[in-house]
Structure 1
Amino acid sequence: MSVPVPRQREALTPQARPVALSDGGLTLLVIEDDPVGSLSVPELLDADGNRVRIRTARNLTEATRLLTDDVQCILLDLALPGPGRGSGDALDALRQVLRLAPAHAVLALTSEGDAERAAEAVRVGAQDYLFRDELNGRVLSRAIRYAVERKRADLAQRQLTESRLRAQENARLERGLLPTPLLQGSDLRFAARYRPGRSRALLGGDFYDTVRTPDGTVHAMIGDVCGHGPDEAALGVELRIAWRALTFAGLCGDQLLGTLQQVLEHERADDEIFATVCTVDIAPDGRRAGVCLAGHPSPLAVRAGQPPRVLPYEDSCGPALGLLPKARWPRRQVELGAAWSLMMYTDGLIEGRVGAGSRQRLGQDGMVDIVARQLAAGLGGEELLDAMVTEVRSLNGGELTDDLAVLLLDRG
């Protein structure tokens, strides 16, 4: 049984997003330039026996109005003229439809004597082609189902490819963000953890590094570029690499941070971007350390026989890099003793919530309590960091919104 193609002229909002089958079955949008409406589409049933709904449009303007979320497939008459009338415009209408509906399955309709143009339509992007003289219910039903499923497979493959490319790019960036520490010859133990915020895959503005210079001094740093995009992540990598080079060149403390600020000012994409940094230099005998803070949280220290506590920051804190020209960053000398642990972290660790729906932040006091409990349970090093990050996430009710980086150095 054949039924005339129904004419629908209500104004509808166009959509060009990924499509899915609705519970009520398939909807087919027919675009054909037949002034007398003689084109008939057979009555169709989908795979579940539901009747296929049919809409029609005489031109692309009308098709734009009728392309709604419930449309899964488009049947385009290749005789429909494009914007031009020359011989080179034979497939312009198809190209416009593919741009208009990139996530929809498209079938090309043509005459049997125009097989070459039909094959070209598939090469341009249509899922399949049909000859007008063979337009019956069995052929069209099968073609629609095939086109919809093929389009789904194509989109899934494209998304998979894009996901793999993003993963490769993120892995390369992660290697820059998470360097291998250079501690050959040192008796210090090193551990670190990095977790990006929940909406940013591997990208983040946190960075850290640890190296040992030829004189035996161990230098460590951790920092956080404001913002969370790839530009901020790339800037973090640049600052980390610059810090390592400047450290091996013999710079330390205020001189090093001043030079890092110059690097940031030159490389940042916007004058509003700044970075917080904490640097620590541990003497060759391992018993003393110098601390400099550029707007960054102060490290947490655990000395033998003493509870963990955050190091005082009043005498060692200057502004974040990039905020004030010609700023100064004082260096505070800290006595560590024979056995100790020093934990450096970004604010993502302490800005999580302390309960689902709670507005209260964990803060440094909450972090100290967590570390004290983990130490009392006999944890240290990698296990301590794993347990701490797990508890922080649990208190927050899931992934943290900000990036998190933690660096732990142990002696004794």
Structure 2
Amino acid sequence: MPVPVPRQAEPPVVLPDGGLTLLVIEDDPGGSLSCPDMADMSGTAGTPVRIRTARNLTEAERLLTDDVQCILLDLALPATDHPSGRPAGEPERAAGPEGSEGPDELATLRRVLRLAPHHAVLALTAEADAERAAEAVRVGAQDYLFRDELDGRVLSRAIRYAVERKRADFAQRQLTETRLLAQENARLERGLLPHPLLAGSDLRFAARYRPGRSRALLGGDFYDTVRTPDGTVHAMIGDVCGHGPDEAALGVELRIAWRALTLAGLCGDELLATLQEVLEHERADEEIFATLCTADIAPDGRSAAVCLAGHPAPLLVRPGEAPVLLPQDDGGPALGLLPDARWPHREVELGEAWSLLMYTDGLVEGRIGEGTRRLGQEGMIELMTRQVKEGLHGEELLEAAVSEVQALNGGELTDDLAVVLLDRG
């Protein structure tokens, strides 16, 4: 009967005494493996090698428990007990192109490899079958042994070599799969990061984004900037509460929805109410909410309509003036908190030359030193004032600001961080 495909997901266990268990699959009860010196082998470190014997694959399946690390298979063993030499119900193999194709000489080995994909397998054959032994290794066995040269010392060494090679192969395969998965995730996450649409605008754009999750590229923070056909530049930054992959996915959905709605011409309460509806449909928990800050900069670049939905106010920097926070006392609630919320827009005069810094709370909630004191908005203003006086702007200003915030925190920030800088003049 056919040998079923195993349901194993993990490699064999390591025995407490460091010993190894060998499952011998052969149908010759008088073969060389029945000699007394094979039954009481010990490895070079004095640890035992235990031997179990199966006469066919059905019996081998029953004896293949988690404490078996290695299998020694006699390649002369039939793949099945069926008289025809093939599993019941399996049709006879068709002849090859020249009518010469016969039974698969390594069918037994292939079935054992399917039965025990995580076990080391040694192929046993006669010295006259060296070619088939080499082919067994190419198919998936860790090594081959000649029956006429076999003794306890040779077998013990071969078993340990095969087990270690299988473990190394398994570890390498896991490492490769992990690396490929990480690369694929990185490509996916990079594709989900925004690409600002500012063609035709004289505004300069810079951004920094760092997720709080280890080895991630996306967090719950999100931002975007687009220019509509009327010349208005729309900028946005937001923060989904929480730090897991669900929050990161929701942040991406909100950003894409904001861009689509903005390009479709929605604005004001209609835009934010629709975003809130998206959040309510997509969030995993009713307690999930998102803060948001939007700035619609007029085509002439001299003014903006700023809206706050539970989000920190932007920082405005003008040449020759100290950086100041825009008013925050007339903002609306975060998205997802109130069903019939309204979000007032405040008109802000920007002037001829200016820089507007939009950020998430990851920038201001980092610690200062080893205590519990936080940087806060006042600390951020002091930090930005000093760096602006040093002549920094654009990418250099953002990089210096984020680096100093991390240095004050004593290392990587645990919260997601997003910073967007738009400037003119």
* Fold shared, TM-score > 0.5 on shorter chain: yes
Which structure would you say has the larger Rg? Answer: 2
Q: Contact conserved, 1:291 with 1:334, CA < 8 A, in 2?
A: yes
Structure 1, residues 70-92: CA drift from partner, whole Å, max 9, x if none? xxxx223569xxxxx99969899
Aligned to 2:121: 107
346 and 135 in structure 1: CA distance in 2 versus 1, 3 angstrom threshold: farther
Paired residue secondary structure (1:348) = helix
Distance 1:352 1:16, change over 3 A: farther
Distance 1:287 1:55, change over 3 A: farther
Please say if residues 240 and 289 of structure 2, whose CA atoms lie closer than 8 Å, have aligned partners that are also in contact: yes
Cα deviation, residue 329, structure 1: 1.2
Residue 387 of structure 1 corresponds to: 400
Cα separation, 1, equivalents of 2:286 and 2:137: 50
Give 2:403's aligned amino acid: T
Matches within 5 A, 1:89-128: 98=117, 102=118, 106-108=120-122, 127-128=142-143
Alpha-carbon distance between aligned partners in 1 of 2:141 and 2:285, rounded to the nearest angstrom: 44
**Structure 1 residues 202, 19: CA separation in 2 closer, same or farther (over 3 Å shift)?**
farther
Q: Secondary structure at the match of 1:265?
A: helix
Task: Report the Cα offset of residue 93 of structure 1.
Answer: 8.4
2: CA distance, partners of 1:17 / 1:350: 47
State the Cα distance separating 1:390 from its structure 2 match: 1.0
Structure-1 separation of matches of 2:42 and 2:287: 63
| 2:346 counterpart (325, 332, 345) | 332
Gaps of 5+ in 2: 1-8, 27-33, 54-59, 75-80, 89-107
Change (3 A) 1:323 1:42: same
1:71 is matched with none
Residue in 1 that maps onto 2:180: 164
Residues 63/391 of structure 1: CA separation in 2 closer, same or farther (3 Å cut):
farther
Structure-1 residue corresponding to 2:39: 40
- In structure 1, the residue matched to 2:95 is none
Shift of 1:291: 1.2
| Alignment-mate amino acid for residue 22 of structure 2 | V
Taking the aligned partners of 2:51 and 2:380, their CA distance within structure 1 comes to: 64
Displacement of 1:348 in angstroms is 1.7
Q: Distance in 2 between matches of 1:16 and 1:299?
A: 52
Change (3 A) 1:254 1:215: same
**Aligned mates of 1:275, 1:18 — CA distance in 2:** 47
Query: What letter is aligned with 2:341?
Result: A
Question: What one-letter code is carried by the residue in structure 2 that aligns with 1:138?
Answer: V
Whole-angstrom distance in 1 between the partners of 2:419 and 2:191: 16
Q: Which residue of 2 aligns with 1:293?
A: 308
Instruction: Note the C-alpha offset of 1:155.
Output: 2.4
**Conserved 8 A contact 1:298-1:344:** yes
Change over 3 Å in CA distance of 1:141–1:261 after alignment to 2: same
Deviates more, 1:369-378 or 1:149-158: 149-158
Matched, 1:308 2:323: yes
Which of 250, 254, 257 aligns to 1:239? It is 254
Match of 2:364 among 325, 331, 350: 350
Cα RMSD, aligned residues only: 3.9
Q: Quick one: distance in 2 between partners of 1:18 and 1:264? A: 46
In the alignment, the residues of structure 1 paired with residue 347 and residue 294 of structure 2 have an alpha-carbon distance, to the nearest angstrom, of 12
Q: What is the CA–CA distance in structure 1 between the aligned matches of 2:135 and 2:241, rounded to whole Å?
A: 51
Distance 1:18 1:265 in 2: 47
The 8 Å contact of residues 318 and 330 in structure 1, kept in 2 or not, is answered as: no
- The answer to whether the 8 Å contact 1:107/1:128 transfers is yes
Task: Tell me how far 1:226 sits from its aligned partner.
Answer: 2.6
Deviations 1:195-214 (A, max 9, x none): 12251421322211111112
Do 1:108 and 1:128's aligned partners in 2 also have CA atoms closer than 8 Å? yes
User: Residue 342 of structure 1 aligns to which amino acid in structure 2?
Assistant: L
SS of the counterpart of 2:195?
Answer: coil
Q: Secondary structure at the match of 1:341?
A: strand
Question: Which among 231, 240, 248 is matched to residue 225 of structure 1?
Answer: 240
Query: Per-residue deviation at 1:118?
Result: 9.4
Instruction: Write the distance in 2 (CA, Å) between the matches of 1:402 and 1:60.
Output: 51
Q: C-alpha separation between the residues in 1 aligned to 2:62 and 2:378? A: 63
Task: Provide the aligned length of Structure 1 versus Structure 2.
Answer: 372
Describe the shift of the 1:211–1:18 C-alpha distance in structure 2 as closer, same or farther (beyond 3 A). Answer: farther
Residue of structure 2 equivalent to 1:212: 227
What is aligned with 1:173? 189
Asked whether 1:255 is paired with 2:270, we answer yes
Distance in 2 (alpha carbons) for counterparts of 1:374 and 1:17: 56
Q: Which residue of 1 aligns with 2:5?
A: none
For structure 1, the 5+ residue unaligned runs are 1-14, 68-73, 80-84
| Overall identity of the aligned pairs, in % | 57
CA drift at 1:324: 1.9
